[in-house]
Structure 1
Amino acid sequence: MNPIINQIGTVFIPVQNIQQARDWYCDILGLPITEEILFDHLYVLPMQGTGIVLDSKIFQKERIYQYPAFHFNTADIKKAYQFIKNKDVQLVTDIEHDQWFTFKDPDGNVLMICEV
């Protein structure tokens, strides 16, 4: 029997300023902001499913995501695109194939939203 579970537990995102990153991610995801920053460099976003941990200890310019390592789900790609656009977030692409688009967080990590 294989002891490794075929399931992703958590994705770590390198961020420069843990408090600013926490506030930005909580804002775009509609999550409550808690003050619990662990070990002065980790913030666990309260996600459904696979977790996301913001980590300022691993931040280096060469470690930011140049391409999406995962995507956030949406039921309406056009509404999600307009929402992100209204937040003055830097868009990388327009909606592609009526299914997905990419944008950057304040540290330059490329993120994706995809309609499921």
Structure 2
Amino acid sequence: MKPILNKIGAIFIPVNNIEEARNWYCDIVGLQAGGEILSGHLYIVPMEGTSIVLDSKVYSEENIFKTPPFHFNTNNIKQAYEYMKSKKVELITEIENNHWFNFKDPDGNCLMVCQC
């Protein structure tokens, strides 16, 4: 057995305000915002598969993601794009190659939605 598994457990995202970030991320993925904020600075977004951990302790403008560290999956990229537009999310690309687009969270982290 190898000591390092071939599996991603969680992705940490630096956020400025943990409560606002929790509410925003839960809203865009269709979850009820709730659950415990751990140690006053961590919130685990309950995702299917790899977890997203929002962390306000590591936030600084230097730490925000300038390129997407992962992508959210969708079955319909056009519907996802219109949904994010309706949520007034800052879209930083159009739909590219009929396959993906990038956007920013309220803290300026660059993220992606991709049709799989």
Give the TM-score band, short-chain normalised.
over 0.9
1:105 corresponds to: 105
Q: Deviations over 1:18-69 (max 9, x none)?
A: 0000000011010111141000000000000000000000001000000000
Letter in 2 for 1:22: R
CA-based RMSD of the aligned residues comes to 0.7
Report the identity percentage.
Answer: 59
Distance 1:53 1:104 in 2: 17
How many pairs are equivalent? Answer: 116
Q: Which runs of 5+ in 1 are unaligned?
A: none
1:27 corresponds to: 27
Question: In the TM superposition, what is the alpha-carbon distance from 1:2 to its structure 2 partner?
Answer: 1.9
Letter in 1 for 2:38: L
Question: In the TM superposition, what is the alpha-carbon distance from 1:3 to its structure 2 partner?
Answer: 1.3
Q: Which runs of 5+ in 2 are unaligned?
A: none
1:12 corresponds to: 12
Moved over 2 A (4+): none
Distance 1:35 1:3 in 2: 32
Letter in 1 for 2:16: Q
Distance 2:32 2:11 in 1: 19
